[in-house]
Structure 1
């Protein structure tokens, strides 16, 4: 049995420049310790989200969350893609993110999705500080989730998130997922997405 904590420490990002340790060691786990997230820690995650930046301070983010063993947890799990269902029930808590599509005066909020991303970034860093891993998932049937949770018109379910304390063991994952869990982490070089002065048309991929 190989403890995932050992894997995490050995698989921190090999950065080109030194960055905060919280960012360097952050990754998206697929197995977690077998314990619920403490209420104090959960409150801290939402407090971090609460104080993230948003356009005109509209704070368009919304969340639905549930602990393992509850009907709501199973309902979120049932909305996940088949791939994510292979591992997501390892998480002690599942969450759906959503955003408010329009401003209070009825105008389209073009920046709502951007603000949700900022909010989740703040939550992720706070979670890392607490030893909690967040695995953000695009693989969710958002239309099904809207119906199951009776999400009102004007709000859009966006992603699902698996949360839990870093830990657990690789034996809970399929062989394919174990390989992904320990694979060397890679990212694009900054020069492929950060252009000084003008768009670099030679790097359009």
Structure 2
């Protein structure tokens, strides 16, 4: 068994209660297969977003995406934090995720960021079903991205996402990141975030 195959097995969540298997095996890789995403792959991922829930069905999400080797890909890479640039180039596909800040009536859409998160949750599960890993990144210079991609007024870029089929070589990462890939996944126990009847 290869190191990578063992890594994928080790990353299966050791959950306290039984959950949907695709959720157990989901993790955020920093290494990916060299296999590119096809047009059909991309359409299937965005179709999962298309059918996500949103407040009043406003669907405030917007995305900019690019394949490795394109000018758009290089532009997205250039907007990432220095830390994320150390590994994100392993991904064959990069995205920027944005949301529309206001309702159709021009009022603040307080739920827009929530809806963007729901849509990316849909995409994440669909991707896992297809053998594709997503690594969501907070480390993006959104102001720079707004300028580079001429983002219209009223929209806000929130995150970047590295996308690719699971695979690749662990040795393609710097040593410090290899250790992070091997590290055991941990989560807070439910009692620290779910409270019955009152805030505890």
Is TM > 0.5 for Structure 1 vs Structure 2? yes
Partner of 2:23: 23
The two structures have a TM-score, normalised by structure 2, of: 0.98
Q: Which runs of 4+ in 1 moved over 2 A?
A: 2-6
Q: Secondary structure at the match of 2:89?
A: helix
Please give the per-residue CA displacement for 1:112-158, whole angstroms capped at 9, x wherever unaligned: 00000000000000000000000000000000000000000000001
Q: How far apart in 1 are the matches of 2:4 and 2:128?
A: 15
CA contact (8 A) 1:48 1:126 kept: yes
Partner of 2:154: 154
Please give the per-residue CA displacement for 1:35-74, whole angstroms capped at 9, x wherever unaligned: 2112212111000000000000000000000000011100
Paired residues, what number?
200
CA contact (8 A) 1:68 1:92 kept: yes
Q: How far apart in 1 are the matches of 2:60 and 2:188?
A: 30
Partner of 1:124: 124
Alignment root-mean-square deviation, CA: 1.1
CA contact (8 A) 1:3 1:168 kept: no
Structure 2: state its 5+ residue gaps: none
Partner of 2:59: 59
CA contact (8 A) 2:11 2:27 kept: no
Q: Secondary structure at the match of 1:31?
A: coil
The two structures have a TM-score, normalised by structure 1, of: 0.96
1:11 Cα deviation (Å)?
2.2
Task: Please list, as runs of the form range in 1=range in 2, the aligned pairs for 1:85-100 lying within 5 A after superposition.
Answer: 85-100=85-100
Structure 1: state its 5+ residue gaps: 201-205
CA contact (8 A) 1:137 1:160 kept: yes
Q: Secondary structure at the match of 2:163?
A: strand
Q: Secondary structure at the match of 2:73?
A: helix
CA contact (8 A) 1:102 1:108 kept: yes
